[in-house]
Chain A
Amino acid sequence: MSGLIFAIELAYWQQTLIKVLVAAVLIPTTALILGIVFLFKMMSWMQSRMGPQEAGPRGLLQLAADGLKFLQKEDIIPDRADRFVFKAAPVVVLASTFLTYVILPAGPDLVIENLPTGIFFAMAVSSLSVVGVLMAGWASSNKYALMGGLRAGGQLIAYELPLILAVMGVVIQAGSLSMQDIVWAQADGSMFGFGGLGLPFVITQVLAFFIFMAAIQAELTQPPFDMPVAESEVVGGFHVEYTGFRFLFFFLGEFATAFAFAAIAATLFLGGWWVPGVDPNSALANVVGPIALFVKIMVVAFLIFWFRFTYPRFREDQLQRFAWKYLIPLALANITITGILVVVL
């Protein structure tokens, strides 16, 4: 059945249209799912609360209600703000999020674009959000926004490095930058001659996985690395002057990026859409793949948000020290060891 669907040849513009529509629906949905499941529900449970209860069944529509509320709000631009840059900043942040979704594979054929340099592309476009954040901070003509923007800039630059270096270990082991090839390498791998479970790279690259998780925490400016948006220090940081749907853009960008990073982590370290027991060449993999990927993403997202709700905020200098003195040397050591072992074995 699915073979029939994929046998249909579509013109390039038709394919592109379908892909754009899927992405436009998918990305806000992912942000909603993460926001409701983790930000509203899991955080409440971890604080011995029930979370929202009134909007919809068990309060599940609370985030949709909040989104509608944001749309009704007045769109305020400060008098002395740089209007063009101020308006463009949320779009830049959201664009970087949308671009990250391009290379995420959800099945052997279910990928918006299987770039040969997939993971490199993802790391590159996710860094774009720094530009948007700096634009927002600078254009707001607000000292808190400026401080927050600069903090975010320093933080995101410091944590791009361990992020990319952690990915390098996986890339060396898989021998490819393409997300699909990395999944295939894990599906075809074997542990001590036993191939039934494949070889999820979290087993061999456990150090890289740890570094990756710490780095995406900082990339998402989540606690314990939330100094750029710390309410008690810089009253919300770079988005202090944003209201209504522009603020919604930042919010959407944050959670959609969290989903994208969780998906990248799931693909790089947990085998992505591949599940043991399903032939990755069969059409079935296109059906099971998205479900498997979603489950793995939720596992990784649970870890991300678990750390978020548990740890208090670092100090700015502790943050930089943690990145430059611990994470980056560890990541470099991981690359060296992986490189040596790949050559030797």
Chain B
Amino acid sequence: MPKVPGMVKGLGVTFRTMVETLKPSGGPATVQYPHEKEEPSPRARGVIALHEENCTACMLCSRECPDWCIYIEAHKTLAPPRRAGGKPRQVNQLDRFAIDYSLCMYCGICVEVCPFEALFWSPEYEFSEVSIADLLHEKERLGEWMETVPDFEAYEAGSEAKGKKVPR
């Protein structure tokens, strides 16, 4: 059988796509956004969520951030000792944790460098604001997004044992 010329094949591709789009079983690849919402993949980089209890204000994320968009303020305080009769522990109490999403470029370095599992990627993407200054989100808002963080999926079969848990 002679080879079908590429020009004819191309016509076939566009025609098939059109039929596929119009078929009730097919439909377009796009989503009519405000009317129906797109379902992002679980590990999509939508927004960065903060689990406040895990943060020690170590400033690693803030220092690694290429855009310098993370603001952290903390003070030292004393926590009750771990064992009875022990010395009270000195811990950092987080006063402020804010990410300026008008500067953030969603590189995810802060999530990667966080040694205490306080920052997570969430697929949530609807957090636009009318004013650009309103994109500076404080730790309360960042904490709300923790609910939208999906559980980690095992990278491959048998790796569940090492799989990390998302703190809830």
Contacts and interface: CB of A to CB of B under 8 A. Distances in A.
B14 A50 contact: no
Contacts of A309: 14
Given A50-B30, A50-B32, A45 B17 contact: yes
A49 B18 contact: no
Contact of A48 (B10, B11, B30, B32): B30
Nearest to B13: A310
Given A42-B18, A45-B18, A45-B22, A50 B28 contact: yes
Contacts of A44: 21, 28
Contacts of B17: 45-48
A311 interface: yes
Nearest to B31: A50
A311 B18 contact: no
B14 A306 contact: yes
Interface residues of B, number: 15
A117 interface: no
Contact of A45 (B7, B11, B21): B21
Nearest to B12: A310
A220 B17 CA distance: 25
B116 interface: no
A49 B11 contact: no
B29 interface: yes
B125 interface: no
A190 interface: no
Interface string B7-51: 100110111011011100000111010000000000000000000
A53 B10 CA distance: 27
A47 B30 CA distance: 10
B21 A49 contact: yes
Given A45-B21, A48-B20, A311 B30 contact: no
A63 B1 CA distance: 46
Nearest to B34: A54
Contacts of A53: 32
B14 A46 contact: yes
A180 B28 CA distance: 44
B18 A46 contact: yes
Contacts of A42: 18
A117 B91 CA distance: 96
Interface string A19-51: 000000000000000000000001011111110
Interface string B118-158: 00000000000000000000000000000000000000000
A311 B32 contact: no
Given A46-B15, A306-B15, 7 more contacts: A45-B17, A45-B18, A45-B28, A48-B17, A307-B11, A310-B11, A310-B13
28 contacts: A42-B18, A44-B21, A45-B21, A45-B22, A45-B28, A46-B14, A46-B15, A46-B18, A46-B21, A48-B20, A48-B21, A48-B29, A49-B21, A49-B29, A50-B28, A50-B30, A50-B32, A53-B32, A306-B11, A306-B14, A306-B15, A307-B11, A309-B14, A310-B10, A310-B13, A310-B14, A311-B7, A311-B10
Which 5 A-B residue pairings sit nearest by Cβ, starting from the closest? A48-B29, A45-B18, A46-B14, A45-B21, A310-B14
